[in-house]
Amino acid sequence: MRVVIAEDLVLLRDGLTWLLQAHGMTVVRGVETGEELLAAAAEERPDVLIVDVRLPPTFTDEGLRAALAARRAVPGLPVLVLSQYVEQLYARELLAGGSGGIGYLLKDRVLDSAEFVEAVRRVAGGGTVMDPEVIARLLTHNAGNGAVASLSPREREVLSLMAEGRSNAAVAQQMVITERAVAKHTASIFTRLGLQPSDDDNRRVLAVLAYLNR
């Protein structure tokens, strides 16, 4: 697996490089700026980009904007955002961007290296990995939306877990309910949101996130 890392902190970038290489991945480029990220994505065509939100020179949202531009240049390019911040505007645009793996993790909430490596693999494979705090903020931002507001507290909890990329079995385990109950909640959620149910977990998550982006 070939990886490009966009992170301006040298120690963190080197640490990520060491960790991923220790698990059999190849970090083909480590860059510091959005401009360098775009060049690396175009030249290397990696299996996944790992991107910080805030990069030089302004340290605002260069990383996310560059990730969006990279996905426009290379459709379906998997992107895993790893940051201290939730940039809601560009995060919603990135998450609702269609095909290709997507992830958004908060640095200070990544507590297990093995789980992080698994998240990288999942995104590279076309899956979705979301930190619950990111989902909570996106849902809060859209709380006034009529359809979302019409969901019951239980359905909102299921929606949040779905948006993290969890399967029905994982949702059931987290909520301590049966998979049949999760399936009923899921069907109700899609009906209320006007979305067609799907057995494909990744497409289901992206559909929900696309809706929340409206």
C-beta separation of 87 from 66 below 8 A? no
Q: Rounded to the nearest 5°, which phi and psi values hold at 80?
A: -115, 110
The predicted model gives 65-86 an average pLDDT of 90
The predicted model gives 209-213 an average pLDDT of 56
| C-alpha–C-alpha distance, residues 53 and 130, integer Å | 15
Residue 42: per-residue pLDDT = 93
Is the confidence at residue 210, as pLDDT, over 60? no
Rg (CA), the chain: 17
Is the confidence at residue 98, as pLDDT, over 70? no
Q: Strands across the sheet with 102-106, in order?
A: 26-31, 2-6, 48-51, 79-83, 102-106, 128-130
The overall average pLDDT reported for the chain is 83
The predicted model gives 92-120 an average pLDDT of 84
Is the confidence at residue 118, as pLDDT, over 80? yes
Residue 191: per-residue pLDDT = 77
- Taking only the tens place, the pLDDT of each residue in 25-49 is 999 999 999 999 999 999 999 999 9
The Cβ of residue 43 has, within 10 Å, a number of other Cβ atoms equal to 11
**Given pLDDT bands bounded at 50, 70 and 90, which one contains residue 143?**
low
